[in-house]
Structure 1
Amino acid sequence: MKTIYKKINLLLVCSILFAGCKSGSEENNEVAATTTQEQEQEKGLKDYYSEYFPVGVAVAPNSFEGKSKELILQHYNSMTPENVMKMGEIHPEQDRYSWEAADKIANFARENDMKMRGHALVWHQQTGDWIFKAEDGGQVSKEELLQRMKNHIDTVVSRYKGTIYAWDVVNEAIADNPEEFLRASEWYEILGEDFIIKAFEYAHQADPEAKLFYNDYNAIIPEKRDRIYKLLKMLVDRDVPIDGVGIQGHWSIFDPSEEELRKAMDMYSSLGLEVQITELDVSLYPWEKERREMREDESDEFTPELQQKQIEKYKMFFEVFRDYKEVMTGLTFWNIADAYSWLDYYPVPGRKNYPLLFDEDYEPKEVYYEVIEFEENED
């Protein structure tokens, strides 16, 4: 694709130099070249991958202005609210919902004919404390917690029925400890594995047409992949209404390997489930979950060497994604451009990261052109 741009620009330069001695056909060629250039500039990721899967992005209510809005409309045909639909944000108190921020994103999706994913109905984090507390201040009973969960899912899913086509119903329920299966959350402590099953059942009842996903990170790492597979197989075997698995895709220039990615895609899709990459970014740093400060000798400069490593990783990921287009039904980047990424603040606050395809000025990086180059090569 970079070659196409260069050829078009050369044609335009020639047209200026020889404007005084052109035939009518040459002038027509110039017009055609200009038109082609404009069409190419208007195309975005969603267009290059239109035969593969929707391409989405995580957004906030303040994303729809200036360069950020322009980039969203050009490159994406799907979106996911980064935070405002999580329970603690949208349902901060038992008898109070906060709709304004979520409604703004939903309205933007409708107005611009974009697909929308809901994130997330049941999660152990960003959940209001009220949901686990009884009126006397003690722990809520199993029956009451199930009813509160049902009320929350009914209310939120029903409000966005027809706008949200897919939900992350349960998020990150698998334990990080390889010796454990399900995470020791309050959901699990009170409800056992029923909290997962019931969440999917309630979501399906609220919107039978919505696609329902289990979503998790480190879903490619073999030891966690196997436990996620175990959970998904259990749900499928019990006829729980689940449609797919969301692989978060918070990866780096270090991992995962192509072999690990393909193996995970094979395992999950073998259950008859759709696969979506729901939170893609490619960090310049290894995953250090417990680290909170930069080292004195550490730099966060985006060097040419790091840039090349990121390009190579992104190219590999997208080659695999294209190979699995029959089972992969969506791809979502986690944030819009390097101007802002959650990785600037976690796990090491203040350490600048550059994990996306667009730079701090919302312009395409070199890696963007490498990701879309396949069209020229595969013809």
Structure 2
Amino acid sequence: MKNIYNNINLLLICTIFFVGCKSNSEENEKVVATTSEEQEQEKGLKDYYSEYFPVGVAVAPNSFEGKSKELILQHYNSMTPENVMKMGEIHPEQNRYYWEAADKIANFAREHDMKMRGHALVWHQQTGDWIFKAEDGGQVSKEELLQRMKNHIDTVVSRYKGTIYAWDVVNEAISDDPDEFLRKSEWYDIAGEDFIIKAFEYAHEADPEAKLFYNDYNAVIPEKRDRIYKLLKMLVDRDVPIDGVGIQGHWSIIDPSEQELRKAIDMYSSLGLDVQITELDVSIYPWEKERREMREDESDEFTPELQQQQVDKYKMFFDVFRDYKGVLTGLTFWNIADAYSWLDYYPVEGRKNYPLLFDEDYEPKEAYYEVTEFEETPDENEE
């Protein structure tokens, strides 16, 4: 009888031990699965593309709060100030600079170890009129204009030296008119093409380590692409200190085509220049620069059909981007999520657009998963 009790006790102990082990094993499996799932959820665009290029986003000083801040930290490792470093914002009067907004963005970049692009030193828009006017109210001379430009570039670039790794030095200097080369602007009227050359020279003097870019839109459309290439080749041939070209990716579900995109990257990189996609968004509307009002019969609903067209376009763009690993040195989205986009106000004010990878609630859209679910391809340079 005693042996029977001993055997029963032994059986009970083994059963308890087995159940306990199984329970612990199941719990451990749950913990591992949960941890793996959480790690996958915490991954962001910057992680998926860490072997390709930095992934950036255009920001404002009020971007660093709530959901937008969380999205920035999870998905991006580079930032571009959308407006606050443009000359009219940061240098509104000849003897007055406004640093607070730009400093806030620069401080955030330093605090979180993020790359930062400067945008933009010389542009025909959002420029204070003071820079073009002489003391008597007339037009300033070429010499004085270039000196004022130099003072501006010296001051701004020097302040952010070591924080800003790349600058859009000259922005949108090519004309939209296919029969013209350089855009008609006060910069060009007063200083001719020298304003472009000198801007790069002054920026290089202010920060020899910074990467200097020419930046423009419609840069993959053949007729404008060829004129941008002409400008870039002229600068390279004259040994102007230019490092790269920024292709503003203000595109749509309609265009550009894959062939146009590849051709543009090939042409620009053939000059030995870095290529970056600097202002990416994919509008659900065609390019309509001159249109300002919605039609009465028009809807701004983000229909399933439009969503799928956007998914397909984003997939094509990122398939191309990955093919140019080592050529593309950066990609920046223009705004954080569909909650706010500059395209809600331009060209048709009040017409809602949905151009980004995150929706109005800052949640990933189907296009996000399309551009992050890809297979790594071997680097041709690796054995």
Give the TM-score band, short-chain normalised: over 0.9
* Secondary structure in structure 1 of the residue aligned to 2:256: coil
Is 1:174 aligned with 2:174?
Answer: yes
TM-score, normalisation: structure 2: 0.92
Partner of 2:248: 248
Give the Cα–Cα distance (whole angstroms) in 2 for the partners of residues 128 and 219 of structure 1: 26
List runs of 5+ in structure 1 lacking aligned partners.
1-18
The residue matched to 1:301 in structure 2 has which SS?
coil
- Give the whole-Å Cα distance in 2 for the aligned partners of 1:333 and 1:20: 52
Distance 1:273 1:303, change over 3 A: same
Q: How does 1:277-356 map to 2 (within 5 A)?
A: 277-356=277-356
- 1:234 is matched with 234
Q: 2:27 is paired with a residue of what secondary structure?
A: helix
How far the C-alpha of 1:31 sits from its partner, in A, is: 1.6
Q: Tell me how far apart the structure 2 counterparts of residues 224 and 372 of structure 1 sit (CA, whole Å).
A: 31
| Equivalent-residue separation in structure 2 for 1:302 and 1:25 (angstroms) | 47
* Secondary structure in structure 2 of the residue aligned to 1:29: helix
The separation in 1 between residues aligned to 2:260 and 2:152, in whole angstroms, is 37
Quick one: distance in 2 between partners of 1:172 and 1:219? 10
Counterpart-to-counterpart distance in 2, 1:266 and 1:301: 37
Residue identity opposite 1:95 in structure 2: N
Give CA-to-partner distance per residue, 1:240-290, whole Å, 9 cap, x none: 000000000000000000000000000000000000000000000001111
* Identical columns (%): 91
**1:357 alignment partner, SS class:** coil
Task: Report SS of the residue matched to 2:58.
Answer: strand
Superposition RMSD in Å: 1.5
8 A contact 1:219–1:264 mirrored in 2:
yes
Equivalent AA in structure 2 for residue 169 of structure 1: V
Residue 366 of structure 2 is matched in structure 1 by 366
Distance in 2 (CA, whole Å) between partners of 1:377 and 1:137 is 61
1:108 paired residue number: 108
Number of residues paired by the alignment? 361
Aligned-residue offset at 1:26: 3.6
1:320-378 CA-partner distances (Å, limit 9, x unpaired) = 00010111000000000000000000000000000000000111111111110114799
In structure 1, give the amino acid aligned to 2:206: A
Letter in 1 for 2:40: E
AA at the equivalent of 1:368: Y
Q: 2: distance between equivalents of 1:20 and 1:282? A: 55
Report SS of the residue matched to 1:374.
coil
- Paired letter, 2:363: E
Establish whether residue 136 from structure 1 lines up as the match of residue 157 from structure 2. Answer: no
Q: Which residue in 2 is equivalent to 1:3?
A: none
Paired residue for 2:185?
A: 185
SS state at 1:262 partner: helix
Q: Distance in 1 between matches of 2:376 and 2:29?
A: 21
Residues 59-90 of structure 1 show CA distances to partners (whole Å, capped at 9, x for unaligned) of 00000000010000000000000000000000
| Residue identity matched to 2:58 | A
1:147 matched residue in structure 2: 147
Displacement after TM superposition at 1:29 (Å): 2.2
Alpha-carbon distance between aligned partners in 2 of 1:326 and 1:64, rounded to the nearest angstrom: 31
1-structure distance, mates of 2:94, 2:370:
48
Q: How does 1:71-86 map to 2 (within 5 A)?
A: 71-86=71-86
Is the 1:116–1:163 contact (alpha carbons within 8 Å) kept by the matching residues of 2? yes
Alignment gaps of 5+ in structure 2: 1-18
**Shift in Å, 1:23:** 5.1
TM-score by length of 1: 0.93
The alpha-carbon distance between structure 1 residues 71 and 378, as it changes in their structure 2 partners (threshold 3 A), is farther
Who is 2:44 aligned against?
44
1:27 match: 27
| Secondary structure, aligned partner of 1:167 | strand
Distance in 2, Cα, partners of 1:327 & 1:202: 26
CA distance in 2, matches of 1:143, 1:290: 35
Query: Match for residue 202 of structure 2?
Result: 202
Paired amino acid for 1:352: K
Shift of 1:114: 0.3
In the alignment, residue 268 of structure 2 is paired with which amino acid?
Y
Q: Which residue of 1 aligns with 2:98?
A: 98
Aligned to 2:7: none
Q: Is the 8 A contact 1:48 1:375 kept in 2?
A: no
1:269 corresponds to which residue?
269
Partner residue in 2 for 1:225: 225
